[in-house]
Structure 1
Amino acid sequence: MAHEEALQVTTDSEEECTFSSEEEEDFDDELLHFEERFDAAEDTVSNECDNDREQMPAAKRARTLSWKAETDVDGAPQTLRFLPAREPGPQLSTADANSPMSLFKLFFTDSAVDNLCQNTNAQAARAAAKGRKYKWTDVSVDELYRYIGLVFYMAAVKMSSIADYWREDSLFSLPFPATVMSRDRYRTISWNVHMSHPDADEENDRKRGTAQHDRLFRIKPLMNTIRLACKAFYHPRRNLAVNERLVACRAKREVTPCMKAKLTKFKFFILSDSSNGYTVDFSVYTGKNSFPTDRGLSYDAVMSLLDRKVLGSGYHVYMDDFYTSPKLFTDLFALKFGACGTYRDQRKDFPKTAANSLSRNCRRIHQHMGGVDLSDQLLQYYAAQHKTMKWYRKIFLHFLDIAANNAFILHKELLGSMTHDQFMEELIAELCGLSQKAAPKQFSTDHVPVPGAQLTSNVRRIATVGRRICVHCKAVHGKKQQTPWKCQACDVHLCLQLNRNCFQEWHKSL
């Protein structure tokens, strides 16, 4: 309940990868913008600028901006006082259990998964009405968590295709997936998993071409939940990094029969904590109308991720040359955010002369940009991505990546007792409904075989004195086998022979 309150306070498959006619039209429009990394609103053509400069009067050229010499002393900007809105770090109690699954459920809550189930079941019913010929029963919350566990398992154990995880005739057969669900059940869930209701999708599709049409409608319900959770349960430290992350989708097209599958990359803008790679916030780029301010993609992308009311002030934001501009840095400083980044020569308002510019050997890579690299690296270890799926299902899988990665970082910050491999192994086990691995049983040294009676001096009777019925043989096999041996600690008689070691079998069950 406390977790839900915190959220409220803080503001594969090959058969199903084709597009419907409605989706195809929307996809064609978006395809023009997803992969571009050129900001026309900020960048200028350097040759034109050089020509304009040559035509300037000498007095005006003298007044244009130029770089300082390398020997000049840098002027330090005003020191910003670091005033975060909350104490940086996890916003959770160390007294809580904080198991891998409980931390993952901060992002994929029971209510969010229940909503996923309802929309998935509705999508499957719609597919059946259109003539799909596969068996379907409504998916439950527990079953969808098990499905997610299998998705992570397949990210950790790589096979060539989905079917290979259920093969039984191969040297590399894997027994685990079949214990969670059947292959056909896994595939039908993959085909139908849906984040929005199909009826609402149709209503939104009818608005295509108008200002009311929402390109992110199919992913927005889950996206909003995860974004809120990212900000609710962790507050970043001072150094932040902004960059983009690309999610590839290979979609089969139906426009031209001979056209090969195209690889489209969906762009996420990411704000991450440079100290550990935690994803603080993100936005999905949907084209030239993604941001309302119309000051250029690079400017708007950064501003959309930095909310002073949520973060506080005095943060240092690091970025690469796609985002860096004098206008952005000036406005960030007015909001009491420091900024640092590499630059492009042709970016507006930068000096257009090479006089006194730093030599190539003097350029430095900002160490705090490593936060984005660290986040991407952690995601790639267990990237839950299938080769061919509809675009919104590919983004659903990336939401899984963000949730699992952030959950691991929270666990590491709170407990620090697991490696990434150990965390994912336990998360998969919990999601799939398996009990946590029990610690190896430690037996007392008193559990040793001893004679059942005192030894006699009569050599002929040594093998028969003290013989009693073996409790394991009687309980398991229903036989009354007698034995002279018993366990010293358990005080029960147990067989101890080369072909019948009941002593060992008995203690395995303890």
Structure 2
Amino acid sequence: MADDASDSGSEFGDLIDQLIAERAQGLGVDNQSDISVSTVHTADLSDFDSEVEIDSSESDAEVDSDAEWVDIIEDFEKEPFESEFGPTMPLGLDAKPVEYFLQLFPETLFQKIKEETERYAHQQGAATFTTSVAEIKAYLGMLFLMGVVQLPSYRHYWSKNPVLRQHSIASVMPRNRYELLTKYFHLNDSTKNPARNFPGHDKLHKVRPVLDNAKKKFPRHYKPHKNVAVDEAMIKFKGRCSFLQYIPSKPCKWGIKAWAIADSESFYLVDFNIYTGKDVNCVNNVPLGTRVVCDLVKPLYKKFHHVYFDNFFTSVQLLEALLRKKTYACGTVRLNRRGLPVGIKTCKLKNSGEMKKMQKGKLMAVTWCEKKRQVSVLSTANSVGNIQLTRHGKRGQPDVTYPKPTAIQMYTDNYNGVDKSDQLRSYYGIANKAKKWWKYLFWFMADVSLINAYILHVEAPGGPRPKPMSHLDFHLAVATGLINGFSSRKRTSEISVQPPVIKKPVNHEPSKITTKRGVRNCVVCASGPDRTSSGHKVQTSWECVRCQVALCREKSCFAKFHNYQN
């Protein structure tokens, strides 16, 4: 990766220049506008997958371009993927879970957070406030534990109600200290960020150290498999933020959008970019989806990876540009994209298994119908053949078998790498609430680092592991490893291992019980777990003359009751 990364910037620039030239010649894709929450509209949403009406008034340029597409489908030989993949970190199978996490979230980052938290506290007038790297680690470990055991309010973790109180969290620090640390928690010095609308202003300045660390560490410690997926991830937030996004088709409708590329087999999130709204310095006439894919995929050029993405990104020009960089691609496509053949755009299919394929060089366009739903795909990555699907018949009807294009099946199997990473993050993600948007971004990066660390643990060199830890066990192990026995509570003086020797009390002597039965239940044994072999309480024939209580003499119950040692 290092060899190709040196000239990736120039290659990316060449690719963008080429796309601009193509668009200027009338071959560009439809303009995909950057969407901000202030201008959001359901007709303009990036992921709004409603059926699009096809404009019947096709331009002459589009009609002429259709001559390049043919109905004769011929497969072509694809270069094999031979690059190394998997973890590149030095840790082996015997490393602790927290060590994997610290490879992605290093000590230097904790030191940076410690310094900035103290700086911010001093700026706010708390001149005596101090913290430590150990306390910042313990604080993050507590947040991870809170993600596993979620309660209505963070105060309940310190509740006096034993049902709500969580000793693993409450024993780390008092609630007042936790609130104070949360109040002053900071990642970067805000005074060094120029004001808005001034040169050099960074919208992500508050989380820049964490973002830069992740973008550096994630691809360094893992090389993806052949199949990767590009998609968007939503960071749930519904507060004040200049680049807040609203996407009604997503489960998380309001939030901060992150473009991401993930491994389709392990779900390791390799790289990401936070979307902060329309870039005034962006390359003219190059659609947003094209820029996103090219920026995330450029470190993988010339390695014959197979990239999968949805219809927001897919265009004829993007797939051809990636193919020139020796990168195969596949994605669903909207039928109103420029450059698609008219035969695909106007094809109407009704029965399951019906399809139409057309080819332009090494680029294939296919539309296929299943249960009256038509799906269209552009691909340079897959075979032109078909597979056979068998669906069970309803109400005693015989099974139905019909063909399905290989390209659509491969897309179904590999497009959801980012979604799977999001799914893993949602299981035990940090669920705290805050008014500041940057804290949600920090929690997102901490959760993704933990998920990626778990994947590194599962695929560690020397594996596969015979019995890998479950996701939950790994999560708990990292949390407890970060806490590492830390406690800011005032400790009571330690009790000596040997009990103090107290002089024998005066006038307290053991004597035989003089009652008719001659035995009674020992009060010390009865207060503890000691019982006879038959399960009855232990009885003794001795008692204290002054206290008049039955006490075993042979088992030292007499000495324990009077708090002295012979």
Specify which of 31, 37, 55 is matched with residue 49 of structure 1.
Answer: 55
Deviations along 1:219-265, one digit per CA (max 9) or x if unpaired, are: 22211111111011111111000010001223269xxxxxxxx9841
Deviations along 1:185-224, one digit per CA (max 9) or x if unpaired, are: 22222233222113213xx2x2x22453222222222111
The equivalent of 1:355 in structure 2 is 347
Cα gap change, 1:391 to 1:75, in 2 (>3 Å): farther
Specify which of 293, 296, 300 is matched with residue 305 of structure 1.
Answer: 296
Whole-angstrom CA distance in 1 between matches of 2:555 and 2:115: 52
Letter of the aligned partner of 1:303 in structure 2? C
The equivalent of 2:118 in structure 1 is 121
Identical aligned residues as a percent: 24
| Runs of at least 5 residues in structure 2 that lack an aligned partner in the other structure | 9-34, 242-251, 349-355, 357-366, 376-407, 487-496, 504-529, 533-537, 539-551, 557-566
More helix by share: 1
2:175 counterpart of 1:183: yes
Alpha-carbon offset, residue 95 of structure 1: 4.1
Letter of the aligned partner of 2:183 in structure 1? W
1:34-433 correspondence runs (5 A): 38=44, 49-50=55-56, 52-53=57-58, 63=64, 65=66, 74-84=73-83, 87-93=84-90, 95=92, 97-128=94-125, 137-169=129-161, 171-201=163-193, 204=194, 206=195, 208-251=196-239, 264-289=254-279, 292-294=282-284, 295-308=286-299, 313-351=303-341, 353-355=345-347, 358-361=367-370, 363=375, 364=408, 366-414=412-460, 416=465, 417-433=468-484
SS of the aligned residue for 2:283 comes to: coil
Cα gap change, 1:320 to 1:116, in 2 (>3 Å): same
Q: What root-mean-square deviation, in Å, do the aligned CA atoms of Structure 1 and Structure 2 show?
A: 3.9
Whole-angstrom CA distance in 1 between matches of 2:110 and 2:42: 34
Q: Confirm or deny: 8 A CA contact 1:34 1:287 kept in the other structure.
A: no
Q: Confirm or deny: 8 A CA contact 1:247 1:398 kept in the other structure.
A: yes
1:499-510 correspondence runs (5 A): none
Q: Confirm or deny: 8 A CA contact 1:223 1:399 kept in the other structure.
A: yes
SS of the aligned residue for 1:219 comes to: helix
Alpha-carbon offset, residue 270 of structure 1: 0.8
Alpha-carbon offset, residue 73 of structure 1: 5.8
Letter of the aligned partner of 2:469 in structure 1? M
SS of the aligned residue for 2:171 comes to: helix
The equivalent of 1:132 in structure 2 is none
Alpha-carbon offset, residue 388 of structure 1: 2.6
Q: Confirm or deny: 8 A CA contact 1:34 1:264 kept in the other structure.
A: no
Whole-angstrom CA distance in 1 between matches of 2:346 and 2:453: 47
Q: Confirm or deny: 8 A CA contact 1:145 1:432 kept in the other structure.
A: yes
Q: Confirm or deny: 8 A CA contact 2:66 2:340 kept in the other structure.
A: yes
Alpha-carbon offset, residue 301 of structure 1: 0.8
The equivalent of 1:32 in structure 2 is 38
Q: Confirm or deny: 8 A CA contact 2:301 2:327 kept in the other structure.
A: no
Q: Confirm or deny: 8 A CA contact 2:301 2:325 kept in the other structure.
A: no
Q: Confirm or deny: 8 A CA contact 1:100 1:423 kept in the other structure.
A: yes
Whole-angstrom CA distance in 2 between matches of 1:293 and 1:98: 46
Q: Confirm or deny: 8 A CA contact 1:341 1:366 kept in the other structure.
A: no
Letter of the aligned partner of 1:234 in structure 2? Y
Letter of the aligned partner of 1:377 in structure 2? Q
Cα gap change, 1:374 to 1:186, in 2 (>3 Å): same
Cα gap change, 1:169 to 1:104, in 2 (>3 Å): same
Q: Confirm or deny: 8 A CA contact 1:250 1:263 kept in the other structure.
A: no
Whole-angstrom CA distance in 1 between matches of 2:177 and 2:41: 34
Greater RCO between the two (CA within 8 Å, min separation 6)? 1
Letter of the aligned partner of 1:318 in structure 2? Y
Alpha-carbon offset, residue 74 of structure 1: 3.5
Q: Confirm or deny: 8 A CA contact 2:233 2:419 kept in the other structure.
A: no
Q: Confirm or deny: 8 A CA contact 2:233 2:418 kept in the other structure.
A: no
Whole-angstrom CA distance in 2 between matches of 1:191 and 1:63: 63
Whole-angstrom CA distance in 1 between matches of 2:555 and 2:69: 86
Whole-angstrom CA distance in 1 between matches of 2:276 and 2:307: 24
SS of the aligned residue for 1:246 comes to: strand
Alpha-carbon offset, residue 293 of structure 1: 2.8
Paired residue total: 398
Q: Confirm or deny: 8 A CA contact 1:159 1:165 kept in the other structure.
A: yes
Letter of the aligned partner of 1:174 in structure 2? Q
Q: Confirm or deny: 8 A CA contact 2:190 2:205 kept in the other structure.
A: no
Whole-angstrom CA distance in 2 between matches of 1:315 and 1:30: 32
Deviations along 1:127-173, one digit per CA (max 9) or x if unpaired, are: 237xxxxx962221110000000000000001001111111135332
| Runs of at least 5 residues in structure 1 that lack an aligned partner in the other structure | 12-28, 130-134, 254-261, 436-473, 481-495, 504-510
